[in-house]
Chains A and B, each alone.
Chain A
Amino acid sequence: MPHTVLVVSNIDLIKNTSAMKPSTFLNTSVSDHILNLNNDYRYMKMGYYVSLHAEVLENPVIPRSENAIDAYRHPILLIKASKHGIPTLPHIVTDSAKQIIKEIGFPAVVFAVNPFSNGGFKIARSRSALYRALRSFGLNHKFTVCAQPLIGEIVSVKTIFGKCNRHGSIGEVAKKFYEIFRLPICKLHIQQFEEKAYLSGIEKLDIEEITQTELRLISEEVFRISKIGEKYWLE
């Protein structure tokens, strides 16, 4: 008997696609292909636990819990992305401003690697700005940060099933990111320099940030995946 697709979502879809609430799903033991739609897949958040529960039940799930963890651990995001052919810039993980100045220079973009920050980044164009970024993201030098050179401008794009409102190299990065990490909903930070785009970071998308147009896009995509069924998990 062919498997169906079970949509587990904390987002109210607008097309007539039925979806199960995450907390209801955690109390079930269904056998299905699970499409986990959530605005927040960070570790220990509901989006993470839905994927985890699906895996414990041995259900194929999008996204996998490991990808949810890795995408939000900034250095791992960059290592994995680069390994799979997504353009990235060099990075270092350190708690030392001196090392960043020596190996990256200015301007630098700094991402948090501590367990408490919700994402985001800081741009350091001077020594004092770098020390401030390290103090803030390193929680007074208790944790490391991840630093990269800033060679162009950082563009933040909302990404839905790998689609975003930008074409060209930025659109390509968003598409490739979804192919590798399979996080249906998130915000990507991408560095653009001349015609090239480099994946830089990721952040959760607040529900309030999802527009009606994007909601329609999510719903249409869910409807399409439901029709394709289990074959979508093989794509």
Chain B
Amino acid sequence: MARIACFVEKYNFLDSTETEALQNFRHAAERMGHSFNFLFKSNISEIAKYDAVFIRATTDPLYTSYVVSKTAWELGLRVVDDPKSIQICANKIHLYSLFEKFNIPRIPTMFLTKEEFHHKQISEIFDTFGKPVVLKAPYTSFSRYVERVACETSFREVARRFFRKSDVLVVQKFMPTSFDWRVGVLNGEVLYVCKYTMRKGKWKHGAKLRGKSKFIWGRTFSIKREHASARFKETALKACSIIGKGLYGVDIKEINGEYIVVEVNDNPSIYAGYEDLRDKDLYEKIITYLVN
């Protein structure tokens, strides 16, 4: 019997479908004879009591979740997400540098440093990618800190905001699609496949309505993993292989029959009735990976 700690924060229980997914993990672990306890930030000094740690709180090297991951790793525990995966996936500069190095099919991308942040460089970017372009802070997640800009004024305004935390930013060609594929991958195998759609008039899965602070999301449709084409799955697995053997969510655009990787996320969302709809065994597979 293994003792599994699931590191969560209060916000992981705000959405009933996420709460249900967390309970599904617990039931799967208990059915398999393991214990599964939620670990909050007030009791992370208890990590050493466990055999494996499963992180569901949002990951970033600057968040407590990284401290949890690295502590578990240093103690020799099995941990999902492992610190290396967090380091790569949570920083898009790191991720896209590896995409380029390993020739992963990707959106045309440039990096912008504070020193290059001037009129000539911005003009060159618009000349190369056309208008609009997409500006991304390296720490983007859940569609946040990714903005479309169509003129130098808005480029400067957004870049200045993103430069507060990072000395380098990502600039990408704008390639709109009505949905992104999301492929869940664990240890080099496809776990689930779904489509994350964009709401009408929006270009991201998650977006704010004009004048509102609340985020709204597009719809999620699942397909059985065996129904996805081999070439599609190969693209997702290749993108994950340059990062590690953990749990990832790969975002892929399908444009003119070609598959283009948008990004690979560690700590992918798993909500009951959405990602797990067609492949319900994902809970057992993740628990099995954690304890083996």
| Residues of chain A at the chain B interface (Cβ within 8 Å) | 21-23, 26, 43-46, 49, 52-53, 56, 65-66, 69-70, 73, 75-76, 79-80, 83, 92-96, 99, 113-115, 143-144
Contacts and interface: CB of A to CB of B under 8 A. Distances in A.
6 contacts: A46-B113, A49-B93, A75-B71, A93-B67, A94-B41, A94-B42
A115 B63 contact: yes
Interface in B55-82: 60-64, 66-67, 70-71, 74
A46 to B, nearest CB: 4
Given A44-B138, A76-B70, A143-B64, A52 B97 contact: yes
Interface of B: 41-45, 60-64, 66-67, 70-71, 74, 83-84, 87, 91, 93-94, 97-98, 101, 111, 113-116, 138-139, 165-168
Contacts of A65: 87
B157 to A, nearest CB: 20
Contacts of B62: 43, 73, 114-115
Contacts of B43: 94
A179 B84 CA distance: 22
Which of B62, B63, B98 has the most C-beta atoms of chain A within 10 angstroms of its own C-beta?
A: B62
Given A73-B67, A113-B67, A115-B62, A44 B42 contact: no
B167 A49 contact: yes
Contacts of B94: 52, 56
A46 B167 contact: yes
Contacts of A22: 113
A70 B66 CA distance: 10
Nearest to B165: A44
A44 B139 contact: yes
A79 B101 CA distance: 33
The 9 closest A-B pairs by CB, nearest first: A115-B62, A44-B166, A23-B115, A56-B97, A46-B167, A23-B113, A76-B70, A144-B41, A69-B61
Contact of A96 (B42, B63, B67, B74): B42
A166 B67 CA distance: 31
A95 B40 CA distance: 10
Contacts of B168: 26, 44, 46, 49
B200 to A, nearest CB: 35
A76 B61 CA distance: 11
B74 A95 contact: no
B45 A93 contact: yes
Given A79-B74, A80-B74, A144 B64 contact: yes
Contacts of A143: 41, 64
